[in-house]
Amino acid sequence: MDKPAETPEQISARRQYQWTLVLFAVVAAATVIWFKRHIESYVTETLIVGGTISLWGLWKLLWSGYEDVGGEDGNTLTRRLLGNKAATRALFFAALIVTFLHFTTSSIYLRVAGAAPGEGDFKVQVIEDGKVVMGPFALSPGQTVGNPIVPGFQARELTYQIVEPRGFLPLEKTLPTWGAHDLDVPGDFKRRVLHIVALVPDKVLFSDLPKKSEPGGERYYLEITVDGKTALLEDYSQALVVTGAAAEDLPSSTVATHDARIREEINDHYAKAKLEKPEETVGTLLTADVHQLASTEFAAGAPLQVTVGTWQDEGGVRKKAPTFSCKLVVPAERGFHILVIGATQQGTCQ
């Protein structure tokens, strides 16, 4: 039996319903995209700890619960809700709101990912125009920090910093008004390439230097020059001199004297120096607190000049009296290295 022909009113109602359904789909998709881009991490971290949630998943959960308690099926309820002009107007208004949110919402989220073995907790902060605008945050594996920013009417020039542990370069990024920064810490940060040097006195210089705890007597200084910049150690004694970076990036006495490769290289050097009791010299160097000499950051292969001398009193004025100077080269390999200084190092020191 043929279906009766649709009246103009029915055709108009059907077309309105179809266009409203398309508008609903567009608004729903745009809302889900906005939610996942800017809100999902915030909701997951602040409201549902230990799990994840999406706007679409929440909608399906509520819809399933509605049908389970005897509600109308999806097609019937959808037609009832969307088959009128009021629904079209409401969806058009919703589309305007979602469009506004897309172009005025930005977000920042940071999570631990890309860490090397042994790296765990991090402290990060966000800087804008020289001021800290977010953080510092303590970040642990599995944790996310950050939030959506609404409204944001202009792009922002941001600098992300890993405050602790040190050894990472700042990350500069532009956050557009509709942008989302979802960063892995430390995966999205470049690691700083440090060339730390431990200056080891040869057997002659070691015997001339005073013990670190010994007061009085002749006092020595050590001066380094690299890239046109000079750093001075005013009281040089029988201890390693660790240099090559800013003070906060230099290894502590414990780290420096317990580094297995450094200990081995120092042992090898003094064994070849034909000392009567090399273990005593090595023991003194590896038990004394190191001299941390802050300097400009060393670059691979950079020329390094080291000058050692004594302090002389001339008319009540303390002046430098150089004993020898060494022309060295910063090792190309990143990490921690030793360089031996002293009169016996022919070709480098004189």
Query: pTM of the entire structure?
Result: 0.61
User: Looking at residues 313-334, what average pLDDT do you find?
Assistant: 88
In the beta sheet, which residues pair with residue 291?
Answer: 241
Q: What is the DSSP string of 166-222?
A: --B--EEEEE-TT-EEEEEEETTSPBP--EEEEEEE-HHHHHHSPPTT--SS--EEE
pLDDT of residue 45: 58
User: Looking at residues 326-349, what average pLDDT do you find?
Assistant: 89
Across 55-64, 169-178, 233-242, least confident range: 55-64
pLDDT band for position 164 (cuts 50, 70, 90): confident
User: Looking at residues 221-237, what average pLDDT do you find?
Assistant: 94
Helix (H, G, I), strand (E, B) or coil at 290: coil
Q: Give the residue extent of every domain in the chain.
A: 8-103, 106-186, 195-341
Decide which of 3 and 212 is more confident.
212
First vs last C-alpha separation in the chain: 113
Helix (H, G, I), strand (E, B) or coil at 141: coil
pLDDT tens by residue, 11-57 = 555 666 667 677 777 777 887 788 878 777 776 655 544 444 454 55
Mean predicted lDDT score pLDDT of the chain: 81
User: Looking at residues 206-222, what average pLDDT do you find?
Assistant: 86
Q: Are residues 137 and 123 in contact, defined by beta-carbon separation less than 8 angstroms? A: yes
CATH number of 106-186: 2.60.40
Decide which of 19 and 294 is more confident.
294
